[in-house]
Structure 1
Amino acid sequence: MQIENTPILTIQPSAGGAAQSVMATGVWQVHALSQKGQLKGINRMLAGLKNKGELEWDLTGVASLDHIGAQLLWNAWGKKRPSRLQLDPRQEELFARIEQASRVNLPRHKVSPLNWIIVLGQGLLSFFEHLHGFVELIGRLIQDLGRFIRRPNTGPWREISANIYHSGFQALGITALVGFLIGVVLSFLSAQQLRQFGGDIYLVDILGMSVVRELGPLLAAILVAGRSGSSITAQLGVMRVNEELDAMLVMGISHGYRLIMPKVVALAIAMPLLVVWTDAMALLGGAASAKLELGLSFRYFLQKLPDAVPMANYTIGLLKGMTFGMLIALVSCHFGLRIKPNTESLGRGTTTSVVTSITVVILADAVFAIVFSGVGFR
């Protein structure tokens, strides 16, 4: 039983069984074609008619036809009119528009063989533009710090305290978990290798130096860059979208003094503390793994640790933490202030901020490794 106004294709075969004519009836509009099973059945029938040779198409029985139905038939015809086609005069204009649109050839973009030079130049210009903005941001920060030192009573103490809480205290959980697991993994893998050479007692040296000098500050910085850095960029970006930054300028409130400086100072204070916390959790995980894998007691681990890791390494780790924190805050604020007042720019800027922060942290760690290459070793 056919539903009224259903799009129907009727195939009239010849005496030999080959299809000679196809008659379309019913309503060929999107609301009729979208009924359950209609579009799939019509497409199946049209696909079976593509290799049937010369056919006569009769569309005079179609009650109503829209662009969707006409395009469906046009695609089945191979995007050209059949030689034997009967149309209602009302359908002629619709198919004429489709035929005219099919003849339009979009211009092809020719890629120049020197296109890589253009891309490289654009990349260099963008890099130096960001570098100029970053240096300018550091200059403003130095001026704001001088103003803060001269008049501490008018400083943004509440903003600094709030940023220490959000970037430092609330990050204790994730840094503890990651630090503990990294300590367990590093201790377990090192123990497997040291056992082959009878060097079990040197596990404390390897674990202490790697965690305190390198892994602790780097892990804490990467976690803070992904967690707090993205939050800082998103916060400034939302303020840009909501025009709050413009309102602050109208009221005579400095962005650097009330937004950027508190974040930089807060991370400069919180990051060394997070480094100490991450070091402690990583060493605790390493000690637990050493106890299970090699049978080294916690007491031996704690007694051996000060001799294995000179005090200079703790100082280097804390200095790294403070430097990484300031760099993360500056990079996050730099990209946050450059976000345009639209949601697409907000998402792209936040992603770029996190990636750049992690890259800058790793580069700074490499600089520390070169500068302090002869410090902290017995």
Structure 2
Amino acid sequence: MAASVPMERAQAGKPHWRIENGTAILEGLWTFPALHGQIAATEQALHAVAASRWDISGVERFDTVGLRLLVRSWDRVLPQQLVCSDAQRALLEQILAVGDAPPLPRRHILVDTLTAIGEALLHPFSHVGDFLRLLGGYVLASLVIVLRPRLMPWRELSVESYRAGVTALGITALVGYLIGMVLSYLSAQQLLQYGANIFIVDFLGIAVLRELGPLLCAILIAGRSGSALTARIGAMKLSQELDAMSVHGISHTLRLYWPMISSLALAVPLLTLWTTLFALAGGAVAARGQLDIPFSLFIDRFRDVVPVRQLYIGLAKGVMFGFAIGMVGCHFGERVKPDSTSVGTSTTASVVASITLVIVLDAIVAVALSLTGK
């Protein structure tokens, strides 16, 4: 190995060397991609070369990895007989002057553990600060629009409402219909045992209008539109579109975040009503098949036993859920770092945080309404 190089390595572009009349001649590319996986073996082989003269003038290209490998194989001393260009010699001298990076100091496992615990405890506070800053910006943008209506971003609001609302009609209708059928089938099996078939209307009406309709719709929108907001804002950060907006004096909050959040606050309650109607339709179909309840009787009973207040509660939840999803989506989009992996990580975190926040808000509202007797 010291006297020659295997044939598979002596190819055009590959780093290779040969011995001629006591001279070690290096050729090819001495870069990290070309040396990848063979750095240690190549360094050992060069160190064992017994040559009084070295010729590296035929090397096509060096990078830092190749230069450091060569210097280490020479025990950090340039050969007395070295044939190279002036640029190559200057680079070698720079490598010798800089030296190898010092090894990282060893840290105690207790220090690392305490540091990790501290970072985990402080990490949520950074989210809270950024979230409150975004919320304050949204409120200020709303005041600006109220005081100066001509600044209303109608086009952006229309586009975002279409993306969040119209394009989600199909999936929300399908899922709502199937969930209504499943609930009706499961309830029918229990109600048949007690002869209380007609009470399936009471159960479906209150459960779907007040809880399942808003919650199911919000979860779908969080996974669909909330993640899309984060991904789009993250992509705009990577492509420096947000920086370009700042250079041109365009407010991110007014032209970007405000339409995104407001469109979800408007679209989610409408989608909640849409999802609820299909869920009730699926429940009515299942009740007709399982309990032999006619559609006319289902509608009459629903109108008599389900107060319209339940619909208002469901729509109010939709507004709250839509606003929360938009805020979380924009928040995690702003926290995207300038690398490609951060977009996927932030998008995943956005979906998880949105769904968790929706469920927490729904639980808070349910407890509050139960305490007030409503």
Give the TM-score normalised by the residue count of structure 1: 0.71
Instruction: Measure, in 1, the Cα distance between the counterparts of 2:38 and 2:259.
Output: 64
Report the alpha carbon displacement of residue 112 of structure 1 after superposing the two structures with TM: 3.2
- Distance change (3 Å), C-alpha of 1:339 and 1:190: same
Is structure 2 residue 232 aligned with structure 1 residue 235? yes
2:219 to 213, 219, 222: 222
Instruction: Measure, in 2, the Cα distance between the counterparts of 1:180 and 1:267.
Output: 22
Report the alpha carbon displacement of residue 124 of structure 1 after superposing the two structures with TM: 2.1
Moved more, 338-347 or 162-171: 338-347
- Distance change (3 Å), C-alpha of 1:247 and 1:192: same
2:144 to 127, 144, 147: 147
Structure 2 counterparts to residues 121-132 of structure 1, below 5 A: 121-132=118-129
Output one character per residue of 1:232-277: Cα deviation in whole Å (capped at 9) or x when no partner: 1111111100101001011110000000111111111111100000
Report the alpha carbon displacement of residue 281 of structure 1 after superposing the two structures with TM: 0.5
Output one character per residue of 1:126-185: Cα deviation in whole Å (capped at 9) or x when no partner: 101001110111111000000011111221011111111110011000000000010010
Partner of 2:363: 366
- Distance change (3 Å), C-alpha of 1:114 and 1:341: closer
| Partners of 1:275 and 1:321 within 8 A in 2 | yes
Report the alpha carbon displacement of residue 117 of structure 1 after superposing the two structures with TM: 4.7
Instruction: Measure, in 2, the Cα distance between the counterparts of 1:28 and 1:202.
Output: 84
Partner of 2:321: 324
Output one character per residue of 1:320-376: Cα deviation in whole Å (capped at 9) or x when no partner: 000000010011001111112221111111111111111111111111111111568
Partner of 2:307: 310
The one-letter amino acid of 1:319's match is A
Structure 2 counterparts to residues 1-378 of structure 1, below 5 A: 29=8, 112=109, 117-374=114-371
Instruction: Measure, in 1, the Cα distance between the counterparts of 2:37 and 2:180.
Output: 65
- Distance change (3 Å), C-alpha of 1:272 and 1:279: same
Q: How many residues align?
A: 298
- Distance change (3 Å), C-alpha of 1:69 and 1:235: closer
SS of corresponding position for 1:372: helix
| Partners of 1:272 and 1:322 within 8 A in 2 | yes
Instruction: Measure, in 2, the Cα distance between the counterparts of 1:137 and 1:207.
Output: 38
| Partners of 1:200 and 1:294 within 8 A in 2 | yes
The one-letter amino acid of 1:227's match is R
SS of corresponding position for 2:370: coil
Instruction: Measure, in 1, the Cα distance between the counterparts of 2:345 and 2:170.
Output: 28
Output one character per residue of 1:48-87: Cα deviation in whole Å (capped at 9) or x when no partner: xxxxxxxxxxxxxxxxxxx99999xx9xxxxxxxxxxxxx
- Structure 1 stretches lacking a partner, 5+ long: 1-25, 32-66, 75-88, 101-105
The one-letter amino acid of 2:240's match is E
- Distance change (3 Å), C-alpha of 1:93 and 1:198: farther
- Distance change (3 Å), C-alpha of 1:170 and 1:343: same
The one-letter amino acid of 1:289's match is A
Partner of 2:98: none
Note the aligned Cα RMSD (angstroms): 3.2
Output one character per residue of 1:71-127: Cα deviation in whole Å (capped at 9) or x when no partner: 9xx9xxxxxxxxxxxxxx999569xx9xx9xxxxx9998773576554332122110
| Partners of 1:263 and 1:329 within 8 A in 2 | yes
The one-letter amino acid of 1:263's match is M
Instruction: Measure, in 2, the Cα distance between the counterparts of 1:160 and 1:279.
Output: 25
Instruction: Measure, in 1, the Cα distance between the counterparts of 2:330 and 2:153.
Output: 17
Instruction: Give aligned-pair identity as a percent.
Output: 46
